[in-house]
């Protein structure tokens, strides 16, 4: 097969494993057709002789062609390889990439998005919002279909970091990734305000050696869950008042000030020290035992609150 590259031809051959393409350049449509047809027919003759000894045959009907015209209005081209006619297509697939005639990569992006959406839809059935797999398992499953259209999103920052690892030491690449990610994190305007208050510096959080985020901890970290202000926002509840003390029921109120959980908080704080929104994450990151204590507290609060809300709603019906 190496002799293929030594054959006389007008096109440039690019080969990877068993995938081979021939690229032609020409000033006009007619010259392109003549160059391609002469080469392809000569190469077919060479292949036929080479394959004859292997008791194999070339299948010219499997040949694909695309005109890379970058938006110019040029008609399609038909290439005749002996008795086979190869019509140029809107796009062809090569090494997992869809190359379209306008070189916009639009077809490839759409195909990738569709595959990612299908994968994520399948994964979503494995990962219900309530409970489901642990964080480590979720990370593995989500990596199958992660896709984002924002070039400044964490997944693109991570992708650039992976490329930089090839030319720099891993430590430097990680530092650069976290710096970029921190800029993105601080640049977010109105979203994730509570989470950013809890985790102002993301590097220690993602570099931690212990602790999974559970169904209950996620509600503490995001403020999305069994909180009346959140439920009223989505018309699940008519009131945003706490069901225990009539104060505005936010995530901060539930976990840090509501007297319903005062005794439980005190029990945990004998181990952790006083907990506030500004120090709770640092304490969790410092000690695996503290992480477990706070995780258990979150579970107790959320489970009890879910039960009490159900009982109250059943009475009101």
Q: Is residue 198 part of a domain?
A: no
Q: Is residue 127 part of a domain?
A: no
Same domain, 14 and 74: yes
pLDDT at residue number 281: 95
Same domain, 183 and 222: no
Same domain, 159 and 220: no
Q: How many domains does the chain have?
A: 3
Per-residue pLDDT of 181-234, as tens digits, reads 888 888 765 678 899 999 999 889 988 989 988 889 999 999 999 999 999 999
Same domain, 174 and 270: no
Same domain, 23 and 54: yes
Q: Which are the contacts of 223, defined by CB distance < 8 A and separation ≥ 6?
A: 194, 195, 230, 250, 251
3-state secondary structure of 267: helix
Q: Is residue 141 part of a domain?
A: no
Per-residue pLDDT of 93-123, as tens digits, reads 877 777 777 777 777 788 878 887 777 777 6
Same domain, 174 and 220: no
Q: Is residue 131 part of a domain?
A: no
State the Cα–Cα distance between residues 258 and 308, nearest whole angstrom: 15
Same domain, 287 and 217: yes
Nearest to 293 by CA among 266, 272, 317: 272
Same domain, 171 and 230: no
Helix H or strand E encompassing 311: helix 288-316
**Full domain range(s) for residue 10:** 2-100
Per-residue pLDDT of 123-178, as tens digits, reads 666 666 555 666 666 666 665 555 444 444 454 555 455 555 555 555 666 677 77
Same domain, 295 and 226: yes
Domain-ending residue, one of 67, 100, 133: 100
Q: Is residue 128 part of a domain?
A: no
Q: Is residue 192 part of a domain?
A: no
Q: Is residue 123 part of a domain?
A: no
Same domain, 180 and 257: no
The Cβ of residue 311 has, within 10 Å, a number of other Cβ atoms equal to 11
Q: Is residue 138 part of a domain?
A: no
Q: Are 22 and 39 in contact (CB under 8 A)?
A: yes
């Amino acid at each position: 097969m190496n002799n293929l590259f030594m054959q006389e031809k007008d096109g440039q051959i690019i080969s990877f494993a068993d995938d081979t393409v021939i690229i032609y350049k020409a000033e006009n449509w007619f010259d392109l057709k003549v160059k391609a047809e002469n080469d392809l027919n000569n190469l077919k003759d060479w292949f036929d002789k080479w394959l004859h000894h292997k008791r194999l045959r070339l299948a010219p009907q499997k040949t694909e062609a695309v005109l890379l015209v970058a938006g110019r209005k040029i008609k399609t081209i038909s290439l005749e390889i002996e008795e086979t006619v190869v019509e140029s297509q809107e796009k062809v697939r090569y090494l997992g990439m869809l190359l379209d005639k306008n070189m916009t990569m639009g077809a490839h992006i759409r195909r990738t998005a569709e595959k990612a959406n299908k994968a994520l839809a399948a994964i979503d059935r494995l990962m219900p919002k309530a409970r489901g797999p642990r964080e480590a398992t979720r990370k593995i499953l989500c990596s199958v279909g992660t896709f984002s259209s924002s070039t400044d999103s964490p997944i693109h920052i991570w992708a650039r970091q992976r490329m930089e690892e090839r030319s720099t030491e891993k430590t430097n690449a990680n530092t650069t990734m976290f710096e970029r990610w921190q800029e993105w994190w601080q640049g977010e305007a109105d979203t994730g305000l509570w989470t950013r208050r809890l985790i102002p510096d993301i590097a220690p959080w993602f570099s931690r050696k212990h602790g999974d985020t559970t169904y209950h901890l996620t509600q503490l970290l995001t403020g999305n869950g069994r909180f009346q202000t959140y439920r009223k926002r989505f018309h699940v509840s008519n009131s945003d008042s706490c069901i225990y003390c009539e104060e505005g029921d936010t995530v901060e109120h539930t976990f840090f000030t509501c007297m319903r959980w005062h005794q439980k908080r005190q029990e945990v704080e004998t181990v952790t020290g006083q907990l506030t929104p500004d120090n709770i994450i640092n304490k969790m990151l410092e000690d695996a035992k503290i992480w477990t204590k706070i995780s258990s507290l979150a579970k107790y609060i959320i489970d009890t609150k879910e039960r009490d809300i159900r009982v109250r709603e059943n009475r009101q019906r």
